[in-house]
Structure 1
Amino acid sequence: MQRNRVRRVVIAGGGTAGWMAAAALSRTLGKYIDITLVESDDIGTVGVGEATIPTLLTFHRLIDINEQEFMAATHATIKLGIQFENWRHVGHTYFHSFGTTGRDHWSAGFQHFWLKGRERGLAGEYGEYCLELSAAMQGRFSHLPNNGINYAYHLDSTRYAQFLRRFSERYGLRRVEGVIEEVAMAENGDIQALVLNDGTRIEGDLFIDCTGFRALLIGKALGVEYEDWSHWLLTDSAIAVQTESVRDPVPYVRCIAGGADWQWRIPLQHRAGNGIVYASRYMDDDTARKILMNTIEGVPRTEPRLIRFKPGQRKRCWERNCVALGLASGFLEPLESTNIHLIQRGITRLLQAFPEIVNQVEIDEYNSRMREDLEHVRDFVVLHYHVTDRRDTGFWRECAEMSVPSSLRHVIDLFAETGKVYNLTNQLFAENSWIQVMMGQGITPRHRHPAPDLMGDPELKRFLDAISGSVSNTVSRLPAHMDYIRSYCPMKEPAATAAV
């Protein structure tokens, strides 16, 4: 199979996925390759990815995005974690923070020392030993020396795409306005060009499919099948609406579980993002819309928008000379705010594997790594639904009784028996995330590591008190979250984008 050297990259579609790819490619390879992004102002994007996770900071640092400019342009606030309400049982709340909890010993994680402390009546709540969790609960934030606090952002996804467009165009990216009418194929089975509704033909050597759920390139043109995970993830619909702010934003997302649904509350500087995610087999659209509109705070700024999705992934994210990013490659649901991360992961892996000539070895490696990433995230999201005391509706009974992936079953059983979590190299959710969610959802380990038994009660108490005292002292010196935002990155409107 003869292929051209990769000198022309064509990105099909804008939105978060398209413009993140454009920003990274133009900033790193813009001097060596021609990059064109095709999008139409007439085609909307899903645009509800307004909560992020800390890996986005790394992405921005790699391509030299100024944080203050980005936050001001996207009206962003800080996110220190997620508060889960009614997930274990109705009325119960726990928090998944972005930080680490306590201090580990080389032989055993902090949770084992905390478990012994609870046995002996010496330990407080698990969250008292986590800086980010304590700061979130008190509504405080500030940057700390040596990256001493882990955080992410709440952002306006439409403004984020606009910001990345301006950034990308500074590095030579060319944007073409138009609707893709046809994907022209070469004789060898690769994609040769995109043909637009006005007859314009955009040829390329490597194509990036950011056309969302339509998957015009990877799905329709190349026929890569979609692997359905709806037997593990029952939710398949969402309704989103924006509202006016009624109070200063808190530095965390609220995820509030219902009978066959959950709602999100995402506070930005200028408004709030709200939505409901639900299983259509258990709840119809009208009921979901009524639940959402009866529980939101503030005056709606937009009409409620219905979104359909099928949880799962493409069997291959890279096929021939096409790489799929974002919704075109797969989608779980927004519970742990992983959509932007998976876009970022796909871009990073593409840059690391960027081929002189597209070859099957690189394609196979990329697909293997991306499958590992998405299956890891899938397992973590399924955990929230499966490990629960809720049996009050058919939805929750089905979630609790379903067979889960063997990879997740192993993690659950290991922690329930031993209190241990073994990290997978380079995976998104580290040990502390799994521990917070598993304990928050109701798993108490039957056994623990014996290392803490080497400590007597006075020594263990001093150890635990020193950690919680340090956390409390640090948090007490942090300013209120919104006071910090107003001084660090007050929101501003973007300048008009130059005509292309």
Structure 2
Amino acid sequence: MRSIVIAGGGTAGWMAAAAFARFLPREAWRVVLVESEAIGTVGVGEATIPQIQLFNHHLGLDEDEFLAATQGSIKLGIEFRDWVRPGHAYMHGFGQVGRGLGLAEFHHYWLRAHEAGTAAPFGAYSLNNMAAAAGRFARFEAQGPVPPMPYAFHFDAGLYAAYLRRHAEAGDVVRHEGRIVAVEPGEGGIAALLLDGERRIAGDLFIDCTGFRGLLIGEALGVGYHDWRHWLPCDRALAVPSARVGDPAPYTRATARRAGWQWRIPLQHRTGNGYVYASAHVSDDGAAATLLANLDGEPLGDPRPLAFTTGKREAFWAGNCIALGLSSGFLEPLESTSIHLIQTAVARILAFLPADRPTEADRAEYNRLTHVEYDRIRDFLILHYHANQRVGEPLWDAMRALELPEELARKLDLWRASARLSRRDDELFAEPGWTQVLIGQEILPERHHPLADAPGDRDLAAFLSTVADVARRTAAALPPHGDFLRGLSRAPQMKVSA
């Protein structure tokens, strides 16, 4: 029997433990998790993207039970307020916007109509955007002209970890309470973890979920860190819950501030809030005052501080140790990718799980794939900051003048020249996400595809009107999101037609 030792609990540790318990044969693998209740967790990852459904489904979790256990709500997208300029807003909704016509994608037809002054806002052609704005949601099967409506979740990260812990321990994961006082080196990297009370936990493969500290990957194995603060200069966050005010909205909100941005994540029992900011441009007291002055409800505590360095590990798998979660890197939660990066890493660990000793070829490919994933998400986040018109504010002025990473610069040049998008290396964010943020941030191309000129003006207007009408009428037919949450135990799938 071989052993996997997970150092640290929290969302990362218990996601890994639950997945290993589900998929690894118990007669061949022993899974151990070490954590200390005296060590707090970061716990700000309360918003997700639709891929979390796959993770929960593969674990065999019941969605209604999961939402009830984690005080969860539905997320249809992210509203960005004031990112272009104060008073401006747009939605990055999940799923498709409009539908293609012939060989050209929808955004080319929209661009033609926009140039002529006859198009509605881009989000008017997205079912997710219209349903989010209306505060409506239901599960349904898409049919006919009605597109799918993918969704994700907001949830209490601490409750999610506790929920997964119950499933993991039911799958024979053994939890040890205690502090790690030393890491015992061995052939191939790490031999064992030494806990308080003179306890020793040996293993074959170690998963580092010790947070920013990186106790195993960084301190014990000496793997360095790529600092990305020259691209993403925010290095502090304050988090505070506030009292629920009305039914939760089915979307996350990210509001730009002078020195960063503020999140709002509505749950069933409270609202999660936080301010991600650059300490070079605002004091901690100033950031706390800004956060507390912009809450929807009464604060339920004092703002909790968090210091971080955006970036990634020089290697994510070294020896017999794999970094997971914050020990592997940190990308601010602007597009809710923190939990997704845990999810993909867990899936990658299972895919690369060594039958005997890990090989250098496996480590190299694992690291390559993870580096690409981090780099491409980083580029998408930089885009939000770079494409701004907040003139006279030092942080935002500097981000407009930023020298961009090569791949992001290539994407923007291609988009500006011909409204084309080029997705590489199976990167996370596909064309619908890029088009919504590019258009939402008012980066418009010089021309659209010539195939979009084929329909006559009246035909183009009729086409766009039909697409917008389907999104509007379908959203209006859905029940309020609050009613869905109140009826979780009896929420059947709806059949929806436009």
TM-score between both structures, scaled by the size of structure 2: 0.95
1:30, distance to aligned residue in structure 2 (A):
4.5
Q: Which amino acid aligns with 1:242?
A: P
Q: Are the aligned partners of 2:96 and 2:126 in contact in 1 as well (CA < 8 Å)?
A: yes
**Structure 2 residue 236 is matched with structure 1 residue 237:** yes
Q: CA deviation at 1:7?
A: 1.2
1: distance between equivalents of 2:281 and 2:71? 36
CA apart distance, 1:106: 5.6
- State whether structure 2 residue 15 is matched by structure 1 residue 20: yes
**Aligned equivalent of 1:192:** 191
Structure 2 distance, partners of 1:133, 1:27, is: 35
Cα deviation digits, residues 389-426 of structure 1 (max 9, x gap): 12221111111111110111111111111111122353
Q: Please give the alpha-carbon distance, in whole angstroms, between the structure 2 residues aligned to 1:50 and 1:320.
A: 32
Give deviations 1:358-395, integer Å, cap 9, x for gaps. 11111111000000101010000010001111222111
Structure 1 partner of 2:330: 331
Q: Secondary structure at the match of 2:334?
A: coil
**Aligned equivalent of 1:112:** 108
61, 64, 78: which is aligned to 1:68? 64
Residue number in structure 1 paired with 2:202? 203
Which amino acid in 1 is paired with 2:448?
Answer: R
Map of 2:303 onto structure 1: 304
- Cα distance, 1:122 vs. partner? 3.7
2:234 aligned partner, one-letter code: T
Q: Contact 1:311–1:331 (CA<8 Å) still a contact in 2?
A: yes
Aligned pairs for 1:334-353 within 5 A: 334-353=333-352
Q: In structure 1, the residue corresponding to 2:282 is in which secondary structure? A: coil
The correspondence for 1:37, drawn from 19, 33, 36, is 33
Equivalent position of 2:495 in the other structure:
none
State how far apart, in whole Å, the 2-side matches of 1:39 and 1:203 are: 15
Task: Tell me the secondary structure at the aligned position of residue 295 of structure 1.
Answer: coil
Whole-Å separation in 2 of the counterparts to 1:489 and 1:75: 13
The answer as to 2:318 corresponding to 1:319 is yes
Task: Tell me, yes or no, if structure 1 residue 123 matches structure 2 residue 123.
Answer: no
1:266 matched residue in structure 2: 265
Q: Which amino acid aligns with 1:190?
A: G
The equivalent residue for 1:294 is 293
Unaligned runs of at least 5 residues, structure 1: 1-5, 491-500
**Structure 2 unmatched ranges of 5 or more:** 491-498
Q: How many residues align?
A: 484
- Give the conservation status (yes or no) of the 8 Å contact 1:389–1:442: no
1:92 equivalent in alignment to 2:110: no
Contact 1:259 1:392 in 2 (8 A): no
Structure-2 residue corresponding to 1:48: 44
> 1:159 and 2:165 equivalent?
no
Tell me the distance in 1 between the aligned counterparts of 2:335 and 2:24: 31
Q: Distance in 1 between matches of 2:25 and 2:41?
A: 26
Instruction: State the distance in 2 between where 1:114 and 1:352 align.
Output: 41
Task: Give identity over the alignment, percent.
Answer: 46
Q: Let me know the Cα RMSD of the aligned residues.
A: 1.3
The alpha carbon displacement at 1:461 in A equals 2.0
SS of residue in 1 equivalent to 2:335: coil
C-alpha distance in structure 1 between counterparts of 2:283 and 2:189, whole Å: 42
Measured in 2, the distance between the counterparts of 1:243 and 1:394 equals 30
TM-score (norm 1): 0.95
Asked if the contact 1:83/1:95 (under 8 Å) is kept, the reply is yes
Matches within 5 A, 1:421-440: 421-440=421-440
Do 2:95 and 2:148's aligned partners in 1 also have CA atoms closer than 8 Å?
no
1:444 matched to which residue of 2?
444
Q: Identify the range of structure 1 (321-330 vs 459-468) with the bigger mean alpha-carbon deviation.
A: 459-468
SS state of the match for residue 335, structure 1? helix
Offset, 1:121: 4.1
Distance 1:73 1:418 in 2: 48
Rounded Cα–Cα distance in structure 2 between residues aligned with 1:62 and 1:268: 24
- Distance apart, 1:119 and its partner CA: 2.9
Q: Deviations over 1:10-33 (max 9, x none)?
A: 000000000000011110004230
Deviations 1:340-361 (A, max 9, x none): 0001111111111111121111
CA distance in 1, matches of 2:140, 2:410: 37
Offset at 1:248?
A: 1.1
Distance change in 2, residues 1:356/1:116 (3 Å):
same
Q: How does 1:365-380 map to 2 (within 5 A)?
A: 365-380=365-380
